[in-house]
Amino acid sequence: MTSSVAIITGASQGIGQATAVRLARDFSGLALVARNRTNLEQTAALVHGAGAEPLVIDADLSQAASAQEVVGQTLARFGRIDALLNIAGAVPQIDLFEMNDAQWDSGLALKLHGARRLTICAWPALRQAKGSVVLMSGNSAVFPKAPYAAVGTINAAIVALAKAFADRGIEDGIQVNSVLPGPVMTGRRQSYLQHWAPLHGVSVAEAVERFPKEAGIARYGSPDEIAELMAFLVSPGARWLTGSTLRMDGGEVKSI
């Protein structure tokens, strides 16, 4: 049996990968979950190099059966679950009046329902370990916009879901929080800017410089910075922190 174990979804890239590498310093076993096995193997090598034992699970969490598969494999390998970090899930950035039902369902299936199902399946093991859960939302939850309405709507639902889990967690000894990152420079954002820039007659470098200014921040955040916050939330020092929504956005949200 491994002494401390975390499940990290979305671990193949971006914030998920950075969180996995950071948690390798604090946990002895990490279950790495995503759809892209090739990228997961790369994360696993980084985790092993940082001192933790990785378990690669290539699973599509938008499929209902995947949650039990992830929990079952993790318990079979490590014998326990101390933390669950739900990071997987990209929501289409499509205008409110253009996004169809299938696109709404796709965004909900992975980011909201995937996290909900996995948290429920892992709950008995987390209760036994007096563990921790983090659900990744985004700061669009507090200022939804029509051009990417689904992003804000689903992120707001995740905040509410985390609060509901936290309410039950008080009784069961499980802490649950949500995190709202602002603009973070990930591979996905780089790809978006590479697509956006020529459509608006600017270079990619100009687009990279323009976006933070328009957002009212000094710079983009990095995946490593969000990973540090995630690591704190599942650390002993954060045990009394539950039912909270933590926004890390470089000051993008100006309201209270």
Q: What is the pLDDT of residues 185-197, one digit of tens each?
A: 998 888 878 887 8
Burial of residue 100 (number of CB atoms within 10 Å: 0-12, 13-18, 19+): exposed
- Euclidean distance between CA atoms 230 and 246, whole angstroms: 10
Confidence band of 2 (pLDDT split at 50, 70, 90): low
Q: Average model confidence (pLDDT) for the chain?
A: 95
The fourth-level CATH superfamily of domain 5-183+222-248 is NAD(P)-binding Rossmann-like Domain (3.40.50.720)
The tokens describing 235, both together, are 């650390």
pLDDT tens per residue, range 107-165: 999 999 999 999 999 999 999 999 999 999 999 999 888 988 999 999 999 999 999 99
Read off the tokens for 196.
């956006």
Higher pLDDT, 2 or 206: 206
Query: CA-CA distance, 1 to 135, in Å (whole number)?
Result: 26
With residue 178 as reference, give the H or E element that holds it: strand 175-181
Residues shown for the chain: 256
> What's the 3-state SS for 49-65?
HHCCEEEEEECCCCCCC
